[in-house]
Amino acid sequence: MIRILGRPEKGKDRRIRVEFSLKGVKAKTVYLVGMPGSSWWPSGSLPMQHDGKGNWKITLSLMEGEYPYVFEVNEYGTYKRLLDPDNPLTTTQVPRHLGAPSPCSLLIVGDEEVLEAKGKLNDGKICVKAIYHDQTIAYFNPLSRNEIIVKIRTLKNDVSDVNLVYFDGHEYSVKMEKIFSDERFDYYQTRINVSTSLLRYLFRLRDGSKTLYYCEKGAKENKPNEKEYFVYDLEKEEIFQVPDWAKNAVFYQIFPDRFCNGDKSNDPPGTKKWGMEPTSSPLLTQYEFFGGDLKGIIEKLLYLKELGVTAIYLTPIFESPTNHKYDTTDYYEVDRHFGDLNTLKELVKEAHESGIRIILDGVFHCSGDEFFALEDIRRDQQNSKYVNWYIINNFPVIGKSQVGVNPPHSVPTPSPPPPYESYLGALSMSHWFAWCLAKFDVMNPETKEYLMKVAEHWIKEAGIDGWRIDSPHAVPHSFWKELRKRIKKVKPDAYILGEVWVNASPWLEGDEFDAVMNYRFREAVIDFFAKNSIDVETLDARLAELRMQYPLQANEAMYNLIGSHDTSRYLALCKGDLDKMKITVLFQMTYLGAPAIYYGDEIGMTHAHIEIGLENLGRARGTMIWKKEKHNRELFDFYKKLIGIRQNFSALRTGSFHALIKDNIRKIYAYERKDKENTIIVVLNNDSFDHEVEIPIKDGKVFKDLLNAAEYSVKDEKLRIPIRKRWGAILLKH
């Protein structure tokens, strides 16, 4: 059942409150799935509260729009995804990893007048109900005590201009820039510097002969008095800060078992020969080892430094029976086949001496089934002191071998679900690996404290520089809010990176993560550069949406990847076309955010030209090629050159971004990166033909092409440059 509670009259957050309820359901847990702040992958971030009588509730704050959702119900080991029985509206969704379209309920939030309205410029009419501003970080973002980004939303094509009017000793008026438009709304933004700590402001909106003032009390036709202005106390509020080093980083992701074998004495039994192709079997691929370890990474730090890498993200390194180690056995021990505490300390020390940061993978939502607490429960059952560390569906709690789940030797199909809630959620009904991913009850105080101390321990003990958080959608948001406080107290410049594949706004409000793995960026560049399935304007709109939805601080530190251990190799998606790969990297290295390289991409590692899924992830996790004669040196040198250019010019790292040319016909995309030091224009030709590009220039006479060692002069306020097919230029204004 859905109940629209309306907008609150006071407070920073003025979004519409919506209550979801499910009645008469006897279950261990119920989660709301698909809504903002969750995921279609089995999710635990939005747990519904139980009243003890079979009724479940949760309240969310939402903007106008359409929201597909389902209830994921755990009936003590029997998992179901239920549509809302009291909501007749339905649609279909294709959840990631879950295959075919799935039916779900549909929630429509918002006033019908707003949802159906169509704006028309200069008609002298403004849709008041569509105007929105609040003082959450999405619309009022203090970058410091003196610098602020302010945003407002209007109906699409409804106003001709918007000004921010604010009082800072004197009254100032600043024209706001339209930064993004979706199907219904336009979004405006400005960035101001102030000296006052108590800022008073309002918005002036115009369309034709119509003028409105939007203030704390709503829309007014006459200018309100100062008491009706919005007020924000900059001294009282905590500023969202992310590490400067992360904004300037070039990341390199390593899957330790496959990167380099530096110590053969710690190889697991049955280690395969380096260079053999991993099996594509979803069962066997997790239990085959190639001997990569931390010593091997230490040996290759010079290689990474030569490439220009300044930060390494390691997938899990703690004790575990699998090669990927997402099923942790001991959070306080480095896996013996990777090394030990001293090896990790040596890696961090030598990396730091080379100017390279290290972040580890934190799997805080579940443990492996050999974890001490779960073993204690299997031994003592209901009497175990750890019985509340997990969500136990039924007793007795048995081990996977007792039902024939003994990977890699035997796995029944379908496999019975484990007696505890698994990270795989509804997939637990058939997937044997559910037994290996026992979901923590992180809201249990003892469990929560254990995990918090793990996060603190490795920062204190080994000096790591942050955490990549695995599957945050599996855990309530309150856990991440507390984890941030604990981590930042130990190391204020620690980087907290979330693995979020969907709109990550709920995790990026300044109190959870610094940034996320930017899979939505990856999807956009694949569609444009690798598949040629979208045009330039669509690419630009998708990127603009990301910049609008996330705070600038997060955008600047965003982990911009084109591949990872969970995806196809990018060169495979390009079907081996090196030109497509290179123009993508050119864009990645000149766009806002921190570029991330998946190990081996820089030398042309690939696999069969197929899409990688859960059933064949091993293909994307091949062993790193160290024989230089097998490297694509052209690609390596290209990466190295672009990283060097990026590191030499701060404008390419933290400068502003403005699109200049969006030419769908010729597939030309040009944009400006600018800061106090430099102005750089990047031009990309994603066409299969050479083109001459003409760029309007109001300021500047000569531009130097940093990529192609050329120089161009401005004539008649136009810069004309030839760009060959699937190539580009990086133009520095002299």
- pLDDT tens digits for range 124-168: 999 999 999 999 999 999 999 999 999 999 999 999 999 999 999
Q: How far out from the chain centre does Cα 143 lie?
A: 20
pLDDT tens digits, one per residue of 213-271? 999 999 999 999 989 999 999 999 899 999 999 999 999 999 999 999 999 999 999 99
Predicted confidence (pLDDT) at residue 640 exceeds the cutoff of 80: yes
CA 387 to CA 379: how far, in whole Å? 11
Q: Does 177 qualify as catalytic in the annotation?
A: no
Sign for the pseudo-dihedral over CA of 533, 539, 545, 547? positive
Predicted confidence (pLDDT) at residue 612 exceeds the cutoff of 70: no
Q: Please choose, from the candidates 65, 73, 62, the residue with its C-alpha nearest in 3D space to the C-alpha of residue 19.
A: 62
CATH class (in words) of the domain with range 244-365+442-648: alpha beta
Q: How far out from the chain centre does Cα 429 lie?
A: 29
Altogether, the residues listed in the chain come to a count of 734
| pLDDT value for 42 | 78
Q: Which residues contact 14 (CB under 8 A, 6 or more apart)?
A: 7, 8, 132, 133, 134
| pLDDT value for 273 | 97
Q: Which of 327, 335, 361, 499 is catalytic?
A: 499
Q: Which of 361, 470, 556, 602 is catalytic?
A: 470
Per-residue CA distances from 568 to 548, 575, 614, 619, 624 (Å): 28, 11, 11, 8, 15
Helices and strands in the chain, H and E counts:
15, 39
User: For residue 276, what is the DSSP state?
Assistant: P
- At residue 207, the 3 state secondary structure works out as strand
Per-residue CA distances from 348 to 249, 291, 311, 505, 685 (Å): 16, 20, 11, 32, 41
Predicted confidence (pLDDT) at residue 408 exceeds the cutoff of 70: yes
Predicted confidence (pLDDT) at residue 94 exceeds the cutoff of 90: no
User: Would you tell me which CATH number, out of the four given (2.60.40.1180, 3.10.20.90, 3.40.50.150, 1.10.3720.10), belongs to the domain 656-733?
Assistant: 2.60.40.1180
| pLDDT value for 416 | 87
Predicted confidence (pLDDT) at residue 212 exceeds the cutoff of 90: yes
Predicted confidence (pLDDT) at residue 619 exceeds the cutoff of 70: yes
**Superfamily designation of domain 115-233:** Immunoglobulins (2.60.40.10)
pLDDT tens digits, one per residue of 269-288? 999 999 999 987 767 789 99
- Mean of per-residue pLDDT scores for the chain: 95
Q: Could you tell me which residue, 607 or 57, shows the higher pLDDT?
A: 57
Q: Give the lowest-confidence range in 294-308, 391-405, 630-644, 654-668.
A: 391-405
Same fold, 2-110 and 656-733: yes
Predicted confidence (pLDDT) at residue 99 exceeds the cutoff of 70: no
% of the chain with per-residue pLDDT over 90: 90
pLDDT tens digits, one per residue of 422-441? 998 877 777 888 999 999 99
| pLDDT value for 53 | 87
pLDDT tens digits, one per residue of 691-733? 999 999 988 899 999 999 999 999 999 999 999 999 999 999 9
Residue 40: φ, ψ to 5°? -80, -20
Domain ranges of the chain: 2-110, 115-233, 244-365+442-648, 372-439, 656-733
* CATH fold label, 2-110: Immunoglobulin-like (2.60.40)
Dihedral of the alpha carbons of 474, 477, 481, 487, in degrees to the nearest 10: 10
| pLDDT value for 614 | 62
Predicted confidence (pLDDT) at residue 610 exceeds the cutoff of 80: no
Half-sphere exposure of 297 (CA within 13 A, CB side): 32
Average pLDDT over residues 48-52: 93
| pLDDT value for 603 | 98
CA angle centred on 358, ends 356 and 360, rounded to 5° = 165
Q: Does 470 qualify as catalytic in the annotation?
A: yes
Its pTM surpasses 0.95: yes
Residue 388 amino acid letter: N
CATH number of 372-439: 3.90.400
| pLDDT value for 432 | 86
Average pLDDT over residues 601-624: 83
Number of neighbouring beta carbons within 10 Å of residue 578: 15
Per the structure block, which two tokens stand in for 330?
């001991």
pLDDT tens digits, one per residue of 566-608? 999 999 999 999 999 999 999 999 999 999 999 999 999 998 7
Residue 387 amino acid letter: V
